Structure 1
């Protein structure tokens, strides 16, 4: 396994960093204050290949593997300092676009992927779909397909989306994945103003007697638990986590800058804390890029490595924001203040650290003699 950070990956990370600085950074504060969605910014980033980077080139995407996508989105997170917008982009192109490319029929790929790649068809998904927990929607077979009923809270991009990816409980407690058009009768969306990650649009989706045909099923009926959910979990722990790695690097760079001030430069404790933060950023990068490489190269990537990467990153972010806030002193950096508010959402997403620890622990215990691997 060769994980050398080559010129191609460095170039992609630089590209993401440049786009974040040039297109996103200046408007973050204003969009955050009003919890605003800027469709022109979304389309502008799409025209430069950001959300569609992991979508096959045959459907208008960049055709990049997970490793390259992580590099680009890491750079975007670092350059923009806007994890909310990065979550919106990653959910759209990663959590929705990639599963359609992997599991969708030819008709579904032709219908949905070009619009997702160019940003014209915004896609929505509930991040909780990647945990495999009980779905909030029930699907009942009808003569022509399915009837969907239920409510999905905290759906990323719901207020602005034209396409929704969801799973529903079907026959015998199994789970089936569906692709729905926003205009489907019986589907309604209620936007909510988020408390955190305010540059990402959130909403709840209600399905009341929503009739869909068999062509709305993504993959095999009843197989979402085995096919879609593990894929979403892997994408959440790599592609969706990548902008937060960029955020951690940005915090480390800011800490180095602040620690150079005369009042702090002589402090041994400050120097040690900054070294620890920079080391954490490098280790987080190593873990995340290993998980992304495995996702792209291996038929069945070890789930615990992606979970460990996100867990390490989730544990590093609180300490990083606190350190930079302490070093900034009486004049807090508005970017750091915003990140300090938002990092708990990353830690809690997709089941939180308990789910991540369980994903890491299970294979370890299964390999331990007498460890009760069942």
Structure 2
């Protein structure tokens, strides 16, 4: 059993961290808007957007573990968690399934642009009445000459208002349940694509999210992902990458929070002592460290199992649950360590809490992860 990194792996992490800090030196201020195309191109240059994609398309050809380390470094170096989240959703929910299941023509046309950051992708899966139950989609795909007509509305499309291309899922036969679900790649400019206004969200402010409606939207056969009726398996494949690698950004956020709490506890004095000398404060920070390292080991284990080709449902569910619940609890503790300052926006601590809340909801809620764990252990 090996817990160390090779010299090359550590050098890659350090290079990405340094490049990220140089590209995004200041945290976003209160009331900042959505990310810019310039921000997106910077992430392409750093290598985050193409990390798991084949080299022939401009990617880094990294496995899940090395990809997660790249995302972790970006999450640590960039305080704009909404931007990093949007980039991770673009990569794991869109670029990864296109690379694995897209037609040769679609891969050649889109992957180099997605890896470089010249295009932005949005994953359109969730519907108003189909969230955790992703097999009960109302959006339909009707076969027509040369392709399919899509009809339906997708809600909570991360990057949706800004995206140039969407990976979406619809059913070719509502009676077939998950066996009728089919994946599609749809260009934003396609007739019948209606993009809604961005939602006003609690956190992850830099990442625009909104509804996307498809009205008699024609998608040619070459833009079907995989086989007709195979969309559920494709979606679960992308969820494996997302639940493991995307959540590495929260390890980076936790590293930043921990560093901030330690600095504050050393500098802040009350009753003639550093507040870090008080057990109530030091133990709270120790708990943050415990959650961070526990979640980190589970996430690395999940990514390792994916790279080995092992069954990884249990490992990924444990990782996702530990990271999301850990970052939420730790961000709340960080606010209390900072006291009144933690409630103000200047230090970015309250932003970390707001950005942590949705981690227990997207990519499968914490309750769904517990259901998966229970099933995998034989309950």
TM-score in terms of structure 1 length = 0.91
Of the three residues 193, 198, 203, the one matched with 1:192 is: 198
- Match of 1:178, SS state, is strand
Q: CA deviation at 1:3?
A: 4.5
Confirm whether residue 279 of structure 1 aligns to residue 281 of structure 2. no
Secondary structure at 2:62 match in 1 = coil
Cα distance in 2 between the residues matched to 1:260 and 1:321: 19
Report whether the alignment pairs 1:326 with 2:336: yes
Question: Would the aligned equivalents of 1:166 and 1:179 in 2 still touch at CA under 8 Å?
Answer: yes
CA distance in 1, matches of 2:358, 2:38: 26
Answering whether residue 68 of structure 2 is matched by residue 45 of structure 1, we say: no
Matching of residue 159 in structure 1 with residue 161 in structure 2: yes
Per the alignment, in what secondary structure is the counterpart of residue 157 of structure 2? strand
Out of 350-359 and 146-155, give the one that drifted further. Answer: 350-359
C-alpha contact 1:176 1:222 (8 A) present in aligned 2: yes
* Match among 263, 274, 277 for residue 274 of structure 2: 263
292, 295, 307: which is aligned to 1:296? Answer: 307
Distance across 1 between alignment mates of 2:328 and 2:159? 26
2:270 corresponding residue in structure 1: none
Q: Distance in 2 between matches of 1:330 and 1:358?
A: 38
Deviations 1:257-310 (A, max 9, x none): 222243313212322222221122111111111111111221x43201111111
Runs of at least 5 residues in structure 2 that lack an aligned partner in the other structure: 268-272
Query: Which digits, 9 at most, give the CA deviation of each residue in 1:107-141, with x for residues without a partner?
Result: 12111101111111211113649953423421111
The match for 1:359 is: 372
1:87 aligns with 2:85: yes
Match of 1:368 in 2: none
Secondary structure of the 1:176 match is strand
Stretches of 4+ aligned residues off by more than 6 angstroms: none
Show CA shifts across 1:210-263 (max 9, x none).
Answer: 11221120101101112x122122112112111011111211222222222433
Distance 1:14 1:194, change over 3 A: farther
Give the helix-richer structure, 1 or 2: 1
Query: 2:93–2:239: 8 Å Cα contact kept in structure 1?
Result: no
Equivalent pair of 2:20/2:46 in contact (CA under 8 Å): no
The gaps in structure 1 that reach 5 residues or longer are: 366-370
Equivalent of residue 75 in structure 1, options 50, 57, 73: 73
Map of 2:322 onto structure 1: 312
Deviation for aligned residue 1:27: 5.2
Of stretches 207-216 and 13-22 in structure 1, the one that deviates more from structure 2 is 13-22
Residues in 2 aligned to 1:23 and 1:116: alpha-carbon distance in whole angstroms = 19
Following the alignment from structure 1 to structure 2, what is the Cα–Cα distance between the partners of residues 144 and 57?
31
Give secondary structure in 2 for the equivalent of 1:135: coil
Deviation at 1:36, TM superposition (A): 2.1
Partner in structure 1 of residue 348 of structure 2: 335
Q: Is the 8 A contact 1:12 1:75 kept in 2?
A: no
Aligned equivalents of 2:29, 2:135: Cα separation in 1: 35
1:364 Cα offset (Å): 0.6
Q: Indicate if the aligned counterparts of 2:126 and 2:154 stay in contact, CA closer than 8 A.
A: no
Q: What is the TM-score when the length of structure 2 is the normalising length?
A: 0.90
Contact residue 160 and residue 201 of structure 1 kept, 8 A = yes
Q: Give the counterpart of 1:220 among 216, 222, 227.
A: 227
1:109 is aligned to 2:107 = yes
The number of residues matched between the two structures is: 362
Cα displacement string for residues 322-344 of structure 1 (whole angstroms, at most 9, x for unaligned residues): 22212212323531110111211
Which segment drifts farther, 80-89 or 8-17?
Answer: 8-17
Two-structure CA RMSD over aligned residues (Å): 1.9
Q: Distance in 2 between matches of 1:95 and 1:324?
A: 30
Kept after mapping to 2: 8 A contact 1:35/1:193: no
SS in 1 for 2:53: coil
